[in-house]
């Protein structure tokens, strides 16, 4: 689906990949509605849109509140008439600890935001998308959704749930007007750690030299290219592509490789 003249709803548009997606879609001639819990972040996104900000609408919304999400659909239809694309991008990570040390509060929070938030948005807006001549539903999983990462086991489980849920939707909607994509970002330079309320085990010096990351703008360009080419799987970054291949060829080796990289980061 070509972005130009289409209306997209993007979750998590107040920062990171979400913000970059808003700006990338605007650059391609789309109208964008974006939501986030961070009102200041949404205002900054609007300002960054510069001369295109008349095509941006921002709303503060908690995607984990099912009733609020359902009411939001009526608001969007009343104010914007329709949407053609939904990008479920919002997500958080867990504290960098082993599962034995992870609290149930943290477990519930990660699953609620990453899976149920995506589910509420999908269930609420899918009937509307099905009325459009052409539509696109995009769910952002993670490289951690197909390869295990010690210290992020619960995060990986939530993103694996997003992966399989989305792939199931692809099959269910194959004969409809709604295209479906699942996105697997690799390491990307965002503030997801801070936004998740998590302390990073990587120092700034380590982050700049030892861990190569993709810029959010690069990630957004890859994702929107994938949408416009109707790709069902969108791998973002060379690390995501490489680990997908490696994990398929040799799961044990891939798992051990990631575990070795994470070992120094876990107490």
d(CA 250, CA 252) in angstroms, rounded, equals: 6
247 catalytically annotated: no
For 205-249, the DSSP string reads: HHHHHTS--B-HHHHHHHHHHHHHTT-SEEEESHHHHHHHHHHHH
Q: Which helix (H) or strand (E) holds 9?
A: strand 7-11
Q: Which helix (H) or strand (E) holds 94?
A: none
Q: Is residue 9 within 8 Å of 85, Cβ to Cβ? A: yes
HSE-up of 116 (CA within 13 Å, CB side)? 12
Q: Is residue 10 within 8 Å of 18, Cβ to Cβ? A: yes
51 CA to centre of own chain:
26
Structure-block tokens of residue 253: 């080796």
Q: Which of 82, 232, 90 is nearest to 169 (CA)?
A: 232
For 119-165, the DSSP string reads: HHHHHHHHHHHTTSSSEEEEEE--GGGTS--TT-HHHHHHHHHHHHH
For 24-50, the DSSP string reads: HHHHTT-EEEEEES-HHHHHHHHHHTG
Catalytic residue among 116, 155, 211, 253: 155
Q: Is residue 180 within 8 Å of 170, Cβ to Cβ? A: yes
Is the torsion defined by CA of 77, 80, 84, 88 positive or negative? negative
Active site residues: 155
């Amino acid at each position: 689906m070509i972005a130009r003249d289409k209306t997209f709803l993007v979750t998590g548009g107040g920062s990171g990949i979400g913000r970059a997606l808003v700006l990338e879609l605007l650059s391609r001639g789309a109208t964008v509605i974006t939501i986030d819990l961070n009102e200041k972040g949404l205002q900054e996104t609007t300002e960054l849109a510069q001369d295109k900000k008349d095509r941006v609408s921002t709303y503060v919304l908690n995607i984990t509140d099912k009733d609020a999400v359902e009411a939001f659909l009526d608001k969007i239809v009343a104010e914007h008439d329709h949407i053609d694309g939904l990008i479920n991008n919002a997500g958080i990570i867990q504290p960098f600890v082993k599962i034995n040390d992870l609290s149930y509060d943290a477990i519930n929070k990660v699953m609620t935001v990453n899976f149920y938030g995506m589910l509420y948005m999908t269930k609420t807006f899918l009937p509307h998308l099905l009325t459009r001549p052409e539509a696109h539903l995009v769910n952002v999983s993670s490289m951690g959704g197909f390869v295990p990462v010690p210290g992020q086991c619960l995060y990986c489980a939530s993103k694996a749930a997003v992966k399989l849920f989305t792939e199931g939707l692809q099959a269910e909607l194959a004969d409809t007007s709604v295209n479906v994509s699942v996105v697997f970002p690799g390491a990307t330079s965002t503030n997801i750690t801070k936004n998740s309320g998590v302390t990073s085990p990587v120092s700034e010096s380590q982050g700049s030299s030892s861990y190569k990351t993709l810029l959010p703008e690069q990630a957004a360009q890859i994702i929107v290219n994938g949408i416009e080419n109707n790709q069902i799987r969108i791998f973002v970054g060379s690390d995501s592509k490489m680990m997908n291949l490696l994990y398929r060829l040799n799961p044990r080796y891939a798992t051990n490789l990631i575990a070795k990289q994470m070992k120094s980061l876990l107490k």
